Amino acid sequence: MPSKPTKLIKSLYLKNALKLAQLAEASYFIDMTQSPSPKNPDQIESADGGIAVSVWRIVRILARPDLKRWRPVMGLAILLTLLAKIIAVAAPVYLGTAIDRLAEGEGARSALTAGLIFLLIFTGGRFLSAGLPQIRDWFFTPVSQDAQRIVCVDAYGHAQYLSLNFHQTRRAGALNRIIERGASAVDYLLRFIAFNIGPTLVELGLAAILLATAYHPFLAVIALMTVVLYGVFTFTMTEWRVLQRRRMNEADTELRARAIDSLTNFETVKAFASEAREIARYDSAMQSYNTRYVETARSLTLLNAGQEFIMNTGLFMMMGFTAWQIWAGNLQIGALAAVMMLMLNLYRPLNILGWAWREIKQGAVDLEKLYGLMGMQSEVADAKDAQALTSPKGEVKFEHVSFSHSGRAVGLKNISFTIPSGKTTAFVGTSGAGKSTLLKLLFRFYDVEKGRILIDGQDIRTVRQTSLRQAFGLVPQDVVLFNDTLRANLAYGKPEATLEELKEAARRAQLLSFIESLPDGWETRVGERGVKLSGGEKQRVGIARVILTDPAVLILDEATSALDSATELAVQTALEEAAKGRTTLMVAHRLSTIQKADEIIVLEQGQISERGTHNALLAQGGEYAQMWQRQVSEKVHISSGIER
């Protein structure tokens, strides 16, 4: 059976914990309004190919150094397959010989003995022709699984390293199906080409030689003509059915993607009482899939009926010609049984051949799609000579940075500022002013169009992205948690952390007493995306995770804006603890949380309009002072309303 990429994905998450944790925490950056989506966001262009190219790709996979240890097993599997085909061709001859000996002996004991011996050879050959492939599969299954694992890991890993823009327009369910079907295609192509198509052609050649030499050349002609007609009909019908399968696969991908998309966002569905609408959308996708499936199933019945007609017509012609030769005295009676068994032996792999060809064609399509994914290039890639960012001190500098998102008129324009190591700088401004865009550029989710960004004097385009992001610790407005235990989520940025290290991080994040009060403690599961925790609890898990990774630069993006006042106070205390000794960038809506910042930068329409300390900006009486006054007035208004 094909390996399950879902299990593989889980293990890959553990192996790449640090990078994936940072990407997961940065998922709030995804803003579907910032880049135009293609008409079908899940569509990935297939790599040019076909069966020949797909076969070559399989050969290249098997030739990889990490599969070298399986090459003796591959050779043994092919040898067992060919041996089984030779025995399958030879076995019917012994059945015919047994019948001839019994017919010639007319009751003689010696004839009975000879007949039984030949029957034993015949049945033994039948057993071996069926049993040797089972032994082959016993040896070959680990090879197939390992090849699938390698392809799946390569594709999944490649998708992980693609730019943020790629993931903005793809749904996880659809992407997973592409990887899953591509990995399964490796198994199909390996087995059918190596163990069905090739060996069946060998068996056909041996059978034709045997029919021509042992019985009559015309029998070989009939057999070959039958197989050729069968093949032409099968391949012609299959080409038509491949188009149907592609449409069915597209409907299947849409169905699964829509289901996962809806189930993942179940809170939004329930909040808007949209269960009926989601069910209707799912039903629509299911109907589309069912329609495509019916078309595919009906064409299969036509294919099977045509194959049966061709094969049985060929069988009748061969047996009829053999019967005529027996009547004419040119062949013995046993030839009829031998020819019939030989043709039936050919019929079985040919029947599989029709199905195998369909699977090979579909496998080639799926593999093309997988290689299409593998061929996609990251929009933001490491330079060839990129070096790791080592021992970062945390100085952040923007020099005349300009950037605009595709499809948006307003972006960042000539932004320059320096945040010394260990200092705190806050960014404020109206929605769309460019605050989060600054953070995206700092993480290098996008590359600047003009200017440059430096960390400790190094242009971030000259350092490896992994090491760059390891220098950052992010606490977003909505901390993303996995459906796992508190311990696993907190340790996600540092899987090797000891329990004492986890406890210290939790204590500093004002979280330890909460964890120890739970019945299951550290083993408490948090639910899908952490739904079993309150907003403040999730924020503190995110803070503890950052403290544990000990980054040089702490980034707080609206980290308390979604919390009530009491919870905000507790989280703010934890944030102040996390910020000690670190360069800190804060994006804030509540100005009360940034009063102590060393510098506050006000952004307006992608440009810096004001900058200074809290008191200095209030004294200027500009945009910041107006924002402060509005928030103070709102707070007073709310307080007055409560008192009344």
The C-alpha atoms of residue 473 and residue 475 are separated, in whole angstroms, by 7
Give whichever of 81-90, 146-155, 242-251 has the largest mean pLDDT.
Answer: 81-90
Q: How confident is the model at residue 321 (pLDDT cuts 50, 70, 90)?
A: very high
3-state secondary structure of 409: coil
Q: How far apart are the first and last CA of the chain?
A: 69
Q: What is the pLDDT of residues 58-88, one digit of tens each?
A: 777 777 787 788 888 888 988 998 898 899 8
Q: Does residue 324 register a pLDDT over 90?
A: yes
495-511 residues labelled b (16+ CB within 10 A) or e (exposed): eebeeebbbbbbbbbbb
C-alpha closest to that of 464 among 539, 522, 383: 383
Map tokens 């699977």 to a residue. 359
Q: Which one has a higher pLDDT value, 42 or 213?
A: 213
Average pLDDT over residues 562-568: 62
The C-alpha atoms of residue 40 and residue 42 are separated, in whole angstroms, by 6
Q: Does residue 221 register a pLDDT over 60?
A: yes
Average pLDDT over residues 270-295: 86
Average pLDDT over residues 551-555: 88
Average pLDDT over residues 458-487: 85
Are the C-beta atoms of residues 144 and 191 closer than 8 Å to each other? Answer: yes
Q: Which amino acid is at 208?
A: A
pLDDT score for 168? 52
Q: Where are the domains of the chain?
A: 5-10+49-374, 472-550
Q: How confident is the model at residue 237 (pLDDT cuts 50, 70, 90)?
A: confident
Average pLDDT over residues 142-168: 71
Beta bridge partners of 9: none
Output the six-digit token pair for 591.
């100005």
Would you put residue 452 in left (φ > 0), alpha (ψ -120 to 50) or beta? beta
pLDDT score for 269? 81
Q: What is the 3-state secondary structure (H, E, C) of 85-119?
A: HHHHHHHHHHHHHHHHHHHHHCCCHHHHHHHHHHH
Q: Does residue 481 register a pLDDT over 70?
A: yes
Q: How confident is the model at residue 323 (pLDDT cuts 50, 70, 90)?
A: very high
Q: What is the pLDDT of residues 352-367, one digit of tens each?
A: 666 677 677 767 777 7
Average pLDDT over residues 130-152: 84
C-alpha closest to that of 366 among 70, 11, 5: 5
Output the six-digit token pair for 235.
């391949």
pLDDT score for 418? 92
The mean pLDDT of the chain is 78
Average pLDDT over residues 330-351: 83
pLDDT score for 165? 57
The C-alpha atoms of residue 112 and residue 98 are separated, in whole angstroms, by 9
Average pLDDT over residues 139-165: 75
The lowest-confidence range among 242-246, 513-517, 562-566, 624-628 is: 562-566
Q: Which one has a higher pLDDT value, 329 or 631?
A: 329
The percent of residues above 90 in pLDDT, for the chain, comes to 8
Q: What is the pLDDT of residues 507-534, one digit of tens each?
A: 888 888 889 898 988 998 888 777 788 8
pLDDT score for 3? 43
> How far is CA 376 from each of CA 166, 305, 373, 395, 445, rounded to the nearest angstrom?
9, 42, 5, 34, 16
pLDDT score for 444? 85
Q: What is the pLDDT of residues 167-186, one digit of tens each?
A: 555 555 566 667 777 777 77
The number of angstroms, rounded, from the C-alpha of 76 to the middle of its chain's C-alpha atoms is 32
Average pLDDT over residues 39-61: 60
Give whichever of 153-157, 456-460, 570-574, 578-582 has the largest mean pLDDT.
Answer: 456-460
Are the C-beta atoms of residues 573 and 543 closer than 8 Å to each other? Answer: no
Q: Which one has a higher pLDDT value, 617 or 147?
A: 617
| Domain 5-10+49-374 fold | ABC transporter transmembrane region fold (1.20.1560)
pLDDT score for 564? 61
Helices then strands, each counted (H, E), the chain: 21, 10
Q: How confident is the model at residue 568 (pLDDT cuts 50, 70, 90)?
A: low
Does this model's pTM top 0.85? My answer is no
Q: Which residues contact 283 (CB under 8 A, 6 or more apart)?
A: none
Map tokens 């008409």 to a residue. 39
Question: Strands 583-587, 424-429: parallel, antiparallel or unpaired by DSSP?
Answer: parallel
pLDDT score for 309? 92
Beta bridge partners of 612: 600
pLDDT score for 39? 41
Average pLDDT over residues 15-33: 35
The C-alpha atoms of residue 491 and residue 495 are separated, in whole angstroms, by 5
Q: Which one has a higher pLDDT value, 635 or 411?
A: 411
pLDDT score for 10? 37
3-state secondary structure of 412: strand
Superfamily per CATH, domain 472-550: P-loop containing nucleotide triphosphate hydrolases (3.40.50.300)
Q: Does residue 4 register a pLDDT over 70?
A: no
C-alpha closest to that of 403 among 413, 394, 395: 413
Q: Which amino acid is at 613?
A: T
Average pLDDT over residues 329-335: 87
The percent of residues above 70 in pLDDT, for the chain, comes to 81
Q: What is the pLDDT of residues 578-613, one digit of tens each?
A: 778 889 898 887 788 888 889 999 988 888 899 999
Furthest C-alpha separation in the chain? 124
